[in-house]
């Protein structure tokens, strides 16, 4: 059963702490997206990787957020230091394909629900 796996599913942390979210894309997929979902802003693209290389992270606050793909089976999103306004659901999505059209077949994980108090 191929699926995008995200851990942890839930995270409650205190302001100022480091938060690391992990994503295992579907085996064989070469693109990975990180999205953030809030009631106010909806789904926002934070970062995009293709073949493990970061292609776009313009949606990500650079001073505190970082995204990496240490290998093809793992993508990470880190927040340091975390702030209450970072509270949201963070989704990872993966897909395959050579061109931009792969985006139409992006598969989403179940998300990490982050609460910063």
Task: State the residues that interact with another protein by CB under 8 A.
Answer: 4, 42-43, 45, 48, 55-56, 91, 93, 100-111, 113
Q: Which is nearer to another protein, 83 or 105 (CB)?
A: 105
Contact (Cβ atoms closer than 8 angstroms) between residue 117 and residue 61 = no
Question: What's the full length of the chain, in residues?
Answer: 117
Q: Which is nearer to another protein, 33 or 65 (CB)?
A: 33
Tell me how far, at minimum, the Cβ of 16 lies from another protein, in Å. 27
Tell me how far, at minimum, the Cβ of 53 lies from another protein, in Å. 13
Q: Which is nearer to another protein, 60 or 106 (CB)?
A: 106
Tell me how far, at minimum, the Cβ of 48 lies from another protein, in Å. 6
88 contact partners, CB below 8 Å, separation of at least 6: 36, 37, 38, 114
């Amino acid at each position: 059963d191929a699926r995008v796996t995200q851990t942890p599913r839930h995270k409650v942390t205190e302001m100022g702490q480091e938060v690391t979210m992990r994503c295992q894309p579907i085996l064989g997929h070469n693109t990975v997206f990180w999205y953030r979902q809030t009631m106010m802003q909806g789904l926002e693209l934070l970062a995009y990787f293709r073949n493990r290389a970061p292609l776009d992270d313009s949606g990500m606050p650079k001073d505190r957020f970082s995204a990496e793909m240490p290998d093809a089976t793992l993508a990470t999103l880190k927040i340091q230091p975390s702030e209450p306004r970072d509270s949201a659901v963070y989704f990872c999505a993966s897909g395959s394909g050579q061109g931009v059209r792969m985006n139409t077949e992006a598969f989403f994980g179940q998300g990490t629900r982050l609460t910063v108090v």
